Amino acid sequence: MAEQTTTIVIFGASGDLTTKKLAPALADLYAKGRLAPEVQIVGVARSEMNAQEFSASFYDGFGPAAHFPPAPETWQDFSRRIHCCYGDVLAPDGLDGLERTLAAVESPDKPANRLYYLALAPSLFAPAALAMGRAGYQQENGCWRRLVVEKPFGIDLNTAMELNRVIHSVFAEHQVYRIDHYLGKETVQNLLVFRFANAIFEPLWSRNYIDNIQITVAESVSIADRAAYYDNAGVLRDMFQSHLLQLLAVVAMEPPSTFEADTLRNEKVKVLESVRRIPSQDAAACVVQGQYDGYLDEPGVPPGSRTPTYAALRLDVDNWRWQGVPFYLRSGKALTNKRTEVLIQFRRPPHLIFPQGPSGDITSNTLSICLQPNEGVHLEFQAKAPDSTLDLRPVNLEFNYEDSFGGQEIPDAYERLLLDALNGDASLFIRSDEIEQSWSIIDPLIHGLSQPPTRPPEIYDPGTEGPYAADDFLARDGRAWLGKCIGG
């Protein structure tokens, strides 16, 4: 095969995602020597931008691994690979400038692999794919061509299916890399390693030993200036359809036979298929909705908006492994702290031979998988308090990422995902059927909750754990939220 070169084309080069995430991730990958030697980076946007302005965010993005600031010769070598051009994915001849830039930076003698990254507003994903199709950018003649699509992928099942249809009219599924950056987090990958590289937990990982599973994605920030997006989305679209259901799938999936993209994703799809659908008419009874006090005063939020900024719900996975084990999912904005955690609460011992404490109960074992910010795994179990007759106390076995790996930097998820996309490893990207399954779980809930006379979301104070109704919701099942990971 002829020697190949690789070009990374970023649509949305002047945007927030490129500046804050993609440029630093690419700079770090370059500094670590993980980009192909001949790599070229081309940014596309409608704004007037010169290569110097565009490269500034790459310069600033050189992280600790590159010993900021980069050595002059390092920067010289890297910056000569950074280019930008005018492009408008909505205009008929909107990719002409890109075509000229590609002709200038790619060698005519070597086939050029291309990674196209859509760092664009979601409404532009389909037009961008079609524009690339008209220019023949998907054609793989002796090289590869891949498309990375950001989230959100659709706003409901129909729009997601339509977006899949449009994208598939240009790119084949094996060329499409749909991002949920949660999957690029080291700790989410560690969850896979924890489950499938250790023999001791897997026999316990089922209804036989697990009482319930709680998945929390909490944010301390408010919606700030994102009302235009958020008020139409709400927490169910923003968080549940993607991050929370992906975490559920990773926790609940069967062991795949290999760590290859399709075997892994087949297992995730099976879990999502097994999630019991909650019909629209039951949504109000099955979902707790909240809205933080002050949401209506945020700039751009329409008066009287009922958009939920918090939700908690119970899902059941109808298969042999999980029958009867509730998965409680919750997420919200303006909460006590920022944290993502998966808590596995095991069943209580079937018969207690020890006298019980004053509260008349002992806590059952809990495995806490803390995904951020204090990444680690903690197993809580009972121990005998010293110098007591038989006083039992919960204690922890702890694994802490930072301590165990000598404070080694945890790279940003985008670094891992960009590298995987360049290497053609789609394991941590979402397949079209996963997206559609996820929407088919969430759609009826959103629909049901929008129907009058559904109660408006309960108002909760910012800086709390959300609405009181979420506690009552679990109390109805005789349980409580556990919250064992410490947030940031």
Question: What positions carry a catalytic annotation?
Answer: 243
* Contact residue for ligand NDP among 90, 352, 385, 480 (CB under 6 A): 90
Q: In 3-state terms, what secondary structure has residue 138?
A: coil
Of 143, 324, 310, residue with least CA distance to 236: 310
**122 makes contact with ligand NDP (CB under 6 A):** yes
Output the smallest distance, CB 471 to ligand NDP, in A: 31
- Contact range with ligand NDP by CB under 6 A, out of 84-92, 267-275, 282-290, 430-438: 84-92
| Contact (Cβ atoms closer than 8 angstroms) between residue 414 and residue 29 | no
Output the smallest distance, CB 179 to ligand NDP, in A: 7
Run of H or E including 368: strand 366-372
* Contact residue for ligand NDP among 71, 104, 121, 475 (CB under 6 A): 121
**61 makes contact with ligand NDP (CB under 6 A):** no
* Contact residue for ligand NDP among 6, 8, 11, 419 (CB under 6 A): 11
The string over 120-144, giving b where at least 16 C-beta atoms fall within 10 Å of a residue's C-beta and e elsewhere, is: bebebbbbbbebbbeeebbeeeebb
Which residues in the 291-350 window bind ligand NDP by CB under 6 A?
none
Output the smallest distance, CB 61 to ligand NDP, in A: 14
Output the smallest distance, CB 363 to ligand NDP, in A: 37
Between 121 and 172, whose beta carbon lies closer to ligand NDP?
121
φ/ψ region of 304 (left if φ > 0, alpha if ψ in -120 to 50, else beta) reads left
The pattern of x and - marking residues 15 through 34 that bind ligand NDP according to CB under 6 A reads xxx--xx-------------
Q: Which residue is nearest to ligand NDP (CB)?
A: 15
* Contact residue for ligand NDP among 29, 115, 119, 343 (CB under 6 A): 119
Output the smallest distance, CB 229 to ligand NDP, in A: 7
| Contact (Cβ atoms closer than 8 angstroms) between residue 265 and residue 256 | no
**110 makes contact with ligand NDP (CB under 6 A):** no
Residues constituting the chain: 488
Q: What are phi and psi of 390, to 5 degrees?
A: -160, 60
Run of H or E including 74: helix 72-79
* Contact residue for ligand NDP among 7, 28, 78, 88 (CB under 6 A): 88
Output the smallest distance, CB 94 to ligand NDP, in A: 6
Task: Tell me the C-alpha distance between 45 and 49, whole Å.
Answer: 8
Q: Which residues pair with 217 in a beta bridge?
A: 331, 340
* CA torsion, ordered 28, 31, 34, 35, to nearest 10 deg: 90
**147 makes contact with ligand NDP (CB under 6 A):** no
| Contact (Cβ atoms closer than 8 angstroms) between residue 473 and residue 312 | yes
**12 makes contact with ligand NDP (CB under 6 A):** yes
Q: Which residues pair with 148 in a beta bridge?
A: 117, 177
Output the smallest distance, CB 91 to ligand NDP, in A: 7
Task: Tell me the C-alpha distance between 365 and 211, whole Å.
Answer: 10
**13 makes contact with ligand NDP (CB under 6 A):** yes
Between 46 and 207, whose beta carbon lies closer to ligand NDP?
46
- Contact range with ligand NDP by CB under 6 A, out of 12-20, 133-141, 324-332, 475-483: 12-20
φ/ψ region of 30 (left if φ > 0, alpha if ψ in -120 to 50, else beta) reads alpha
**183 makes contact with ligand NDP (CB under 6 A):** no
- Give the relative orientation of helices 432-449 and 157-168 as an angle to the nearest 10 degrees: 150
Between 120 and 147, whose beta carbon lies closer to ligand NDP?
120
Which residues in the 456-485 window bind ligand NDP by CB under 6 A?
none
Output the smallest distance, CB 417 to ligand NDP, in A: 11
Size, binding site for ligand NDP by CB under 6 A: 23
Distances (CA, A) of 168 to 88, 147, 164, 174, 455: 21, 11, 6, 10, 40
**288 makes contact with ligand NDP (CB under 6 A):** no
**180 makes contact with ligand NDP (CB under 6 A):** no
* Contact residue for ligand NDP among 46, 207, 338, 479 (CB under 6 A): 46
Task: Tell me the C-alpha distance between 408 and 398, whole Å.
Answer: 18
**131 makes contact with ligand NDP (CB under 6 A):** no
Task: Tell me the C-alpha distance between 102 and 116, whole Å.
Answer: 12
- Contact range with ligand NDP by CB under 6 A, out of 116-124, 380-388, 436-444, 471-479: 116-124
Query: 3-state DSSP helix/strand/coil percent for the chain, to nearest 5?
Result: 40, 20, 40
- Contact range with ligand NDP by CB under 6 A, out of 41-49, 153-161, 325-333, 438-446: 41-49
- Contact range with ligand NDP by CB under 6 A, out of 71-79, 120-128, 203-211, 367-375: 120-128
Query: Other C-beta atoms within 10 Å of 38: how many?
Result: 16
Between 152 and 483, whose beta carbon lies closer to ligand NDP?
152
**70 makes contact with ligand NDP (CB under 6 A):** no
Run of H or E including 176: strand 176-178
Task: Tell me the C-alpha distance between 454 and 245, whole Å.
Answer: 24
Output the smallest distance, CB 9 to ligand NDP, in A: 11
Q: Point out which residues bind ligand NDP (CB under 6 A).
A: 11-17, 20-21, 45-47, 87-90, 119-122, 124, 150-151
